[in-house]
Amino acid sequence: MCDDRNIITVNGMYPGPFIQVRNGDSLVISVVNRAQYNVTIHWHGVRQLLTAWSDGPEFVTQCPIRPGESYTYRFKITDQEGTLWWHAHSSWLRATVYGAIAIYPREGTTYPFNKPDRDFPVILGEWWNANPIDVVNEAIRTGAAPNISDAFTINGQPGDLYSCSRKHTETFRVRYGENILLRVVNAALNQELYFSIGNHMMTVVGVDASYTKPFLTNLLMLGPGQTTDVLITADQLPGKYYVAARAFASAPNVSFDNTTTTAILKYTKYGCSSKASASASQPLLPALPAFNDSLPGKAFASRLRSPGVVQVPQPVDMNLLFTVGLGLFNCKPGQNCGGPNNTRLTASVNNISYVSPTNYSILQANFLGLPDVFNPNLPPVPPLKFNFTSANIPRKLWQPMPGTEVLRVKYGSVVQLVFQDTSILAPENHPMHLHGYDFYILATGSGNFNETTDTAKFNLIDPPRRNTVAVPGGGWSVIRFLANNPGAWFMHCHLDIHLTWGLAMVFVVDNGVGELQTLKPPPPDLPMC
């Protein structure tokens, strides 16, 4: 059955407004909260150079904007071109509060490929036949996993495989012969997604607002938070083609609705082509991998490269290893304990399950020098003497400690970070997202990260630049970045349920020397808690 429901939107739009800017532009965006929930907006992937107060994650760079109040975000696009997006960063509001950001080439410059005839955002989302805030609150209350979503969506519509969506299926209208840039965003809350288009090969030209070395593919894999720019040419028989996405979940024991969301690529006009008289019949679904097949996703990620040789920052000043994974809290009297064996599900970084402060944001507390809001020394993991891909992980690691731990970083440090999935409960993918920076992905692999043998595999020549890395379930990824942006920068798994469970931490990057290395005081309208 089809029913109507009220959702939280921005300017009455779902998805929200499509922001189109140029590299180098300055943006001023006022957010007026007319909803009954606290909200903040995060500009996902925008580097926010020296504008940490505008980054947006709740209780990290600001207190929430309360109902009836407002806050103006001010920031500049610095050396980024391609596609980013924005979303609410409070509870699970981002289920409906999100939109795409297109960053066009800097004034007076052009694309490093033929200028496309048109470009479209293709935002993949996730829909519940319930209020998503209730869904997450129920999971928090019971300690169990949340209800899975009822549909995936493309630009807000599940597509015509779902009868309720038939009339509203998203349609991309193109003309025969055109070159089209698709800006694909994975805005789903909890699922990696495979993406493909019937009969059309895609040329990947960018990810996370950085250009890539172009390559041809019929399949994309995007973790939540990631974007991919692809070029297609409308050179097939005029007609309709399916644009489709389907979830990929690595955990073999997750029961899971593997339905497919679709949109239509529709040829509206064609020139004097011999194909003009012919016409494709019913749109066919492109072949998408099975939901538990991780290999095509890994193969896709391994093809991403920066366009040319890049300056990977070195030497490394901070060499970190973070374990990322699920865990279990013991049940206390009076609690609901819907997790396995009478426990509550949780998640952690280095065995610390992140607890958000409530009276100040981390950035405010750091600016004001308040000592009691966070601890500045996220503890390191014990040496990895056990195998994270086996069942013999020490019991201690199953039971993380709750805490508000951050890691302080000196301005200008080169930070190298290994993410190691712990496979506790199940091997789980973690799309790890860092605020305030792009990083280079030096390597990804399966099993335990091995300092000696795996370091030799690092790509220090043309690694891809991203803000979200897909750490494979039962495996690891290594990133590197230069900490040249002072502020408090959230880093978390972009699977919202993992974030809810505490798979997060904060880098507090100190000011450097002089005005160009110093974060200014907060704007006067910064919300207080």
Residue ranges in 402-431 that form contacts with ligand C2O under rule CB under 6 A = none
Binding pattern for the stretch 80-99 against ligand C2O, x by CB under 6 A and - elsewhere: -------x-x----------
CB 219 within 8 A of CB 195: yes
* DSSP for 361-425, written as a single string: -HHHHHHHT-TTS-BSBPPPPPP--S-TTSS---HHHHSPEEE-BEEEE-TT-EEEEEEEE--SS
Which residue's CB comes closest to ligand C2O?
44
- Tell the smallest beta-carbon distance from residue 94 to ligand C2O (Å): 7
Q: Residue 229: which of 23, 79, 83, 441 has the closest Cα?
A: 83
Phi, psi of 220 (to 5 degrees): -115, 155
The strand ranges marked E within 234-351 are 240-248, 260-269, 318-330, 343-349
C-beta separation of 267 from 200 below 8 A: no
Q: Please say which residue, 187 or 482, places its beta carbon nearer to ligand C2O.
A: 187
**Under rule CB under 6 A, residue 490 binds ligand C2O:** yes
Which of 184/337 has CB closer to ligand C2O? Answer: 184
**Residue 480 engages ligand C2O in binding (rule: CB under 6 A):** no
Q: How far is CA 362 from the centre of its chain?
A: 21
Residue (187 or 265) nearer to ligand C2O, CB:
187
Please report how close the Cβ of residue 506 comes to ligand C2O at its closest, in angstroms: 11
- Residue with smaller CB distance to ligand C2O, 162 or 490: 490
Q: What is the largest CA-CA distance in the chain?
A: 75
Q: Give whichever of 44 and 465 is closer to ligand C2O, judged by the CB atom.
A: 44
Measured from the CB atom, the residue of 84 and 265 that comes closer to ligand C2O is: 84
Is position 498 an interface residue for ligand C2O (rule: CB under 6 A)?
Answer: no
**Running DSSP on this structure, what letter comes out for residue 13?**
B
Q: Which one of residues 433, 465, 466, 498 is an interface residue with ligand C2O (CB under 6 A)?
A: 433
Distance separating alpha carbons of residues 439 and 467, to the nearest angstrom: 6
Which class for 48: exposed (0-12), middle (13-18), buried (19 or more C-beta within 10 A)? buried
Amino acid found at 122: V
**Shortest CB 292 distance to ligand C2O, Å:** 26
**Considering the rule CB under 6 A, would residue 44 count as an interface residue with ligand C2O?**
yes
**Least distance (Å) from ligand C2O to the CB of residue 117?**
30
436 binds ligand C2O (CB under 6 A): no
CA 112 vs CA 117, 182, 206, 318: distances in Å = 15, 16, 10, 34
Among 16, 57, 146, 464, binds ligand C2O (CB under 6 A): 57
The DSSP symbol for 520 reads: P
> What does the per-residue mask of binding to ligand C2O show for 217-256, with x meaning CB under 6 A?
--------x-------------------------------
Strands (E), 105-170: 118-127, 151-154
In the complex with ligand C2O, which residue's Cβ is closer, 344 or 492? 492
Stretch that binds ligand C2O, among 128-136, 268-276, 302-310, 486-494 (CB under 6 A): 486-494
Q: Which of 221, 492, 500, 505 binds ligand C2O (CB under 6 A)?
A: 492
Site size for ligand C2O (CB under 6 A): 11
In the complex, the residues that contact ligand C2O under the rule CB under 6 A are 42, 44, 57, 87, 89, 225, 433, 435, 490, 492, 494
